[in-house]
Chains A and B, each alone.
Chain A
Amino acid sequence: METAWALNAQGLSKSFGRKVVEGLTLTIRPGEFYALLGANGAGKTTTLRMIAGLTPPDAGRIEVFGRDVVKDPLGAKAIMAWLPDEPLLYDKLSPLEYLEFIAGLWQVPPELARRRADELLELLGLWPHRAERCEGFSRGMKQKTVLAGALIHDPKFLLLDEPFTGLDAGSARLVKNLLTRHVENGAAIILTTHILEVAERLASRIGILAGGTLVAEGGLEALRGHAGFESGTLEDVFLQLTAG
């Protein structure tokens, strides 16, 4: 069944002692690239974790391509990939073994998985290191390995928590192209980032999170309108909207 929404999250709330996310409503269409911005501690990671089915929300409903994350977690997870803000890697596994593991978890057919693994490793420049254990990797190499893991099962919905941390310019460009292509093929992506240039370039829609809820949403023009600016960069708008 095709649904109109890739993500349909209504009235999400979460508190850890104090309220972190409050009454957040977020909708994303298939083929949309959504950037979630916000100051440190605004609740971006918490929001992504709730959508990924890792942190149960206190209130609200989340559907991914029509599958309820709370009621049908396995069905929803099968079409999602979640990229954590810190690369979660097994030190003692090599990138190839890591991809093998991830492909197994998402039950990608072996021949397809092998082909995609080779492609991704080649593309991300990890091919020479494919049989080395990750414990010796640099931050950027680890980031590329988990990115490959997020893409190997060709998820329809990607949750990326600061995916560009540690990537060199060339790799960042590669990943941007990869993600754009993924979206063009009908997938949806939500990403958080502190690099506003990334959001401005990639995202078709930007949401700004403050005080546990969206204070503004839309393209750059719409955000300017919210902030009451005639012109100005995303940075100016962001600072204006998150001030106070």
Chain B
Amino acid sequence: MFKPPGFLWLLRHELKVLWRGSILVRTHRYVLVPASIVILMFQAFGVLVGHLIMRHPVAPEIMLLALNINLAFLFVLMFSRAMMACIDVLYARGDADFLLASPIAPNRVLAVRMLGVALSILAPWLLLAGMLANGLIIFGQLWALAVYPMLLAEALVVAALAFALVVVLVGRIGPMAARRAGHSLALFTGVGIFILGQTPHFVPHAALAGFWSGLLPGPGGGGLAYLFARGVLGQPGPLLAALALAALVFCLVWVFLAGPFARGAISAASYRPAGREGAQQARFRHSAFSSLMAKDRRLLARFPGLVSQIAYRSLTLIPVVAILLGKVVIGLAVTVPLLVFLAGQLGLFFISVLAQMNDMPALIASAPVAARAPRRAAYLVCAQTALAIIGLPVVAVLVKGPALAPVMLLGVAGALASNLWLGRRLPIPLSRAAFGKTQVGTLLGLVLGVSISAGWALAAWLVVTFV
């Protein structure tokens, strides 16, 4: 099995490719040290939480409900991630055709692909949940070991279902739109979690309590809906049943897709995106600079995940709007750090998109334009776009509280400028921008960029609160 072209040999190859494309490896080598420090800190946190759980035992019923909610969220988050991964391995990486042209059994290729996706979506959560489990295990709670196989079971189910959905979606709407569907799913989940976290603010307590207690599993254990949650709690029967169920789902999807995959009907469904034809009109321009800006604006606007990514970041605007409308009675000043943070985040994201989509410096270098022109055009387009998004709330805040103007303007400009500067050098990783393009973003860029946005926001907050 380990020898070529055995199943495990192929799986090793698959995992190698996935690992090299993963965020940790794409990123700076030097990030490994800070990353391990963060992991150690998380582990310490896990031990702390484990300790707290031991000190304040939760009623088993509530524990089950909490676990189930977490498993449900995990399911959706993994699912969205799995959809992207499926699209990549089936349509984007381009080696599906290559492998199908080789004398390896196609169903083996498919099984390896599905397993690879399952493992790749599992890894980050295993790391996170594993730390919590370890925190419990060292206090003698050996049942927490069950977290590991149960997460694997969930990942198998998710990967299989995502594969099936992606094949159907791509067949109907093409890989681009399917990818957008995956993005939207992640977005809705994010919004959902946010809204759920806010429910205590706008739902009466009694109603909320009634709602949650209605969801409790009850004395019977909650039946099939609580199977996975009980598995996580280490109950042997549910654990084995959940594992068996996951394996069954995985195999069913595999059997179902193996035929079409072997015939090339899946990977060939749309290997190349059909060039989208729009009512595009070229407007020939006089100046090189405005041509550069027009190009950057187009590339930015055509980035596949643009809307969902902007919406994600703009969740910060919800509390701002709530404060502006008087729904939340906190000082207006709180909006300043929020908007400053958003300005920094948007700038970082936009410049990273351009860095990702603009990977042909040689073309522009061969043109008679000053070396700094492309850079400036990109900065300008990103700043304009970010300001277009936060402009209205900023103006609204300033109309209500003109005294905030200096801090607000300085903070927004500072966060924007510093993150544009940083993001061009160290862009953040983006969910793959286009087929076949290599990722240029790094984890280091993400960590630094968010820190800088937060730094400016913190400074703005300190100034508005204490000055």
Contact = CB atoms under 8 A, between A and B. Distances in A.
Interface in A139-191: none
B434 A91 contact: yes
A87 B285 CA distance: 24
A140 B140 CA distance: 66
Nearest to A84: B362
B359 to A, nearest CB: 9
Interface in B24-54: none
Contact of B285 (A53, A80, A100): A100
Contact of B284 (A75, A84, A91, A103): A103
A105 B288 contact: yes
Interface string A63-104: 000000000011111101110100010111110110111111
B234 to A, nearest CB: 50
Interface string A97-120: 101111111111111011001000
B435 interface: yes
A99 B283 CA distance: 10
A92 B279 CA distance: 14
A124 B177 CA distance: 31
Interface in B265-310: 272-280, 282-288, 290-292, 294-295, 298-299, 302-303
Contacts of A78: 368
A73 B370 CA distance: 9
Contacts of A110: 283-286
A104 B368 contact: no
B410 interface: no
A132 B273 CA distance: 11
B206 interface: no
A54 B302 contact: no
A136 B299 CA distance: 16
A103 B357 contact: no
Given A91-B434, A92-B357, A100-B294, A105 B369 contact: yes
B364 interface: yes
A104 B282 CA distance: 11
A197 interface: no
Contacts of B292: 101, 104-105
A107 B279 CA distance: 25
B467 interface: no
Given A90-B360, A136-B275, A52 B366 contact: yes
A132 B288 contact: no
Contacts of A136: 272-276
Contacts of B369: 74, 105
B367 A100 contact: no
A137 interface: yes
A117 B367 contact: no
Contacts of B277: 131-133
A76 B303 CA distance: 34
A231 B275 CA distance: 50
Contacts of A53: 365-366
Nearest to A100: B282
A148 B364 CA distance: 16
A134 interface: yes
Contacts of B299: 90, 92-93
B303 to A, nearest CB: 8
B356 to A, nearest CB: 11
B282 A107 contact: no
B224 interface: no
A93 B295 CA distance: 8
Interface residues of A, number: 46
Contacts of B196: none
A98 to B, nearest CB: 9
A129 interface: yes
Nearest to A149: B363
B275 A135 contact: yes
Interface centre among A78, A94, A129 (most CB of B within 10 A): A94
Contacts of A100: 282-285, 291, 294
B276 A117 contact: no
B362 A92 contact: no
A137 B284 contact: no
A92 B365 contact: no
A131 B288 contact: no
Nearest to B176: A135
Given A74-B368, A100-B283, A92 B434 contact: yes
A96 B434 contact: no
A241 B465 CA distance: 80
B276 A106 contact: no
A92 B366 contact: no
B291 A105 contact: yes
Interface centre among A53, A76, A78, A90 (most CB of B within 10 A): A90
Contacts of B357: 90-92
Contact of B276 (A104, A114, A133): A133
A107 B287 CA distance: 6
A99 B285 CA distance: 11
A75 B250 CA distance: 63
Given A92-B302, A132-B275, A104 B294 contact: yes
A97 B280 contact: yes
Contacts of B367: 77, 102, 105-106
A104 B435 contact: no
Contacts of A131: 277-280
A93 B291 CA distance: 13
Given A92-B298, A105-B288, A136-B275, A77 B368 contact: yes
B284 A105 contact: no
Contacts of A105: 288, 291-292, 364, 367-369
Contacts of B368: 73-78, 105-107
Interface centre among A49, A108, A132 (most CB of B within 10 A): A132
10 contacts: A78-B368, A81-B366, A84-B362, A90-B360, A92-B302, A93-B295, A97-B280, A102-B367, A104-B285, A117-B282
Given A105-B288, A132-B277, 8 more contacts: A53-B365, A78-B368, A91-B357, A91-B437, A92-B299, A92-B303, A97-B280, A114-B282
